[in-house]
Structure 1
């Protein structure tokens, strides 16, 4: 594995990052949308087995190629799973040429000051040292309203974790999501942008990050962030928008590429034949790829 090759792909690749990092909290909802109700599994083991089958089906699909998908974010448990005799992260890079990332956050704290900070991440140094073949990480927190103190706290926490990740030789995707239903979304995004720029200026030579941000109300709001010398790439999350809406909004933001989860898997179902599944996935991949380039 060449970190330089992976970095070049993340910096210049014409495509998007697939978010395949459904965790314990988001898996039941993702499976329900995929046609697997909670009555179909009786333990966490079976639930994670179902979601791994869905992930593998996506990764193995014909349209899931490095020409369109330049990276993929995985859940920690997925690192131990295999596809065709390879660990998943190794399969993505060595077989598909897709750069693997690892979701490292452990969920969210209760809302305070209009935001949800990340819960502590125990054993992070250990997790990072064991993440063989993984290029970077992703860590998510959520902003619900335009509260300056809350947003400052969220960005500071994200950058503290980001420094730990860069110290381990990896590239963090910092994800302070703004809730798309927030009544003060536009205002929150303006505060967020300023806090991000302030924190970026404090990074030192060699500390590179990526950002994963909600599609903003004001088109191209984050161009200045994307142009910052410490930023490899700014990617967009779909945040509950439909594939159609998310792609329309992404088209208006010239310096963002997609990192969609729900919009990527929209319309996929376990019951579909491989041909039907591949056609539905291919349609989503093509729409998201077009909007990203």
Structure 2
């Protein structure tokens, strides 16, 4: 793991950009960008279009290390190039931004009020490739919908079990047990989640540090104890379906919590914008998310 990137991610001012829409969410991301489904006839064409979108974002002058600490990539993006360099190398060397990789394979069906991650059968191979591509860390997502103690414990246990394998491979895991923003039991879910995470953190070994990616809590500063925990490098927040303005307002109220927004970062970008319009829209989003994070 690169010490300079660790230092930046741990102590830098800014936020983590999430550019990791995968197969299932890509058509939605493209539609939001103004590319309808009739613009592609197969998966390869779809991924070409989304890589063009991500390339436009990453190469924009608005996307820079003064305000962005890291960027989370989809596996295909890691294996593709930007201006003749692998995406991770381009981010690290040209932009000074730490590259992360989404490693989960999506969500299993709901059970006990939660959705665990599907098995990651090729994890060792993926982590090996991530190291070859100079990736700094990883991200994996589960979802909590109900305040079921057994379900929430299962989510956190699974996240930390895989997280330890990621640490052993020399990468920084972002543990992401998302609480559904529409859950009628959101506050209860978050209290249970915090307890389970603290229990896992207290049992980590000497060189086992993690990052956390959590839904912005209903109770302000609920996660301050996690943010201050010696085993936690950084706690970042997902926008979870909130609009940029709402997500930013909620984020500002929580000390030490920084953004890792996806939709909120790109919601005002459009394929038909001129470069000038595109860069201005991206700069506005980056600026607002940065301000909310610091």
- TM tier relative to shorter chain: over 0.9
User: SS in structure 1 opposite 2:280?
Assistant: helix
User: SS in structure 2 opposite 1:56?
Assistant: helix
User: SS in structure 1 opposite 2:134?
Assistant: coil
Aligned to 2:78: 79
Which digits, 9 at most, give the CA deviation of each residue in 1:139-159, with x for residues without a partner?
Answer: 000001111110000000000
> Please, what TM-score do these two structures have when normalized by structure 2?
0.98
Which digits, 9 at most, give the CA deviation of each residue in 1:196-252, with x for residues without a partner?
Answer: 000111110000100000000011110101111110000000000000000000000
**Shift in Å, 1:282:** 0.7
Q: Give the whole-Å Cα distance in 2 for the aligned partners of 1:144 and 1:269.
A: 32
Which digits, 9 at most, give the CA deviation of each residue in 1:169-195, with x for residues without a partner?
Answer: 111000000000000001100000000
> Please, what TM-score do these two structures have when normalized by structure 1?
0.99
Aligned to 1:261: 262
Q: Give the whole-Å Cα distance in 1 for the aligned partners of 2:235 and 2:65.
A: 18
User: SS in structure 1 opposite 2:71?
Assistant: strand
Aligned to 2:67: 68
**Shift in Å, 1:62:** 1.1
Q: Give the whole-Å Cα distance in 1 for the aligned partners of 2:115 and 2:89.
A: 33
Aligned to 1:140: 141
Aligned to 2:56: 57
Q: Give the whole-Å Cα distance in 2 for the aligned partners of 1:33 and 1:106.
A: 23
**Shift in Å, 1:79:** 1.2
Q: Give the root-mean-square deviation of aligned CA atoms.
A: 0.7
Question: Which ranges of structure 1 fall in alignment gaps of 5 or more residues?
Answer: none
Q: Give the whole-Å Cα distance in 1 for the aligned partners of 2:215 and 2:57.
A: 24
Q: Give the whole-Å Cα distance in 1 for the aligned partners of 2:238 and 2:264.
A: 9
Q: Give the whole-Å Cα distance in 2 for the aligned partners of 1:114 and 1:269.
A: 36
Q: Give the whole-Å Cα distance in 2 for the aligned partners of 1:76 and 1:47.
A: 15
Aligned to 1:158: 159
Aligned to 2:40: 41
User: SS in structure 2 opposite 1:180?
Assistant: coil
**Shift in Å, 1:267:** 1.1
Q: Give the whole-Å Cα distance in 1 for the aligned partners of 2:179 and 2:36.
A: 29
User: SS in structure 1 opposite 2:151?
Assistant: helix
How is 1:1-293 mapped onto 2 (pairs within 5 angstroms)?
3-131=2-130, 132-293=133-294
Query: Hey, which bits of structure 1, 4+ residues long, moved more than 2 A?
Result: none
Q: Give the whole-Å Cα distance in 2 for the aligned partners of 1:246 and 1:61.
A: 23
Q: Give the whole-Å Cα distance in 1 for the aligned partners of 2:137 and 2:187.
A: 29
Deviates more, 1:111-120 or 1:2-11: 2-11
Which digits, 9 at most, give the CA deviation of each residue in 1:31-78, with x for residues without a partner?
Answer: 111101111110000000111011000001111110101100000111
User: SS in structure 1 opposite 2:77?
Assistant: helix
Q: Give the whole-Å Cα distance in 2 for the aligned partners of 1:136 and 1:70.
A: 12
User: SS in structure 2 opposite 1:73?
Assistant: strand
**Shift in Å, 1:123:** 1.3
Q: Give the whole-Å Cα distance in 1 for the aligned partners of 2:292 and 2:268.
A: 18
Q: How many residues align?
A: 292
Q: Give the whole-Å Cα distance in 2 for the aligned partners of 1:179 and 1:39.
A: 31
Q: Give the whole-Å Cα distance in 2 for the aligned partners of 1:20 and 1:26.
A: 11
Q: Give the whole-Å Cα distance in 2 for the aligned partners of 1:73 and 1:267.
A: 19
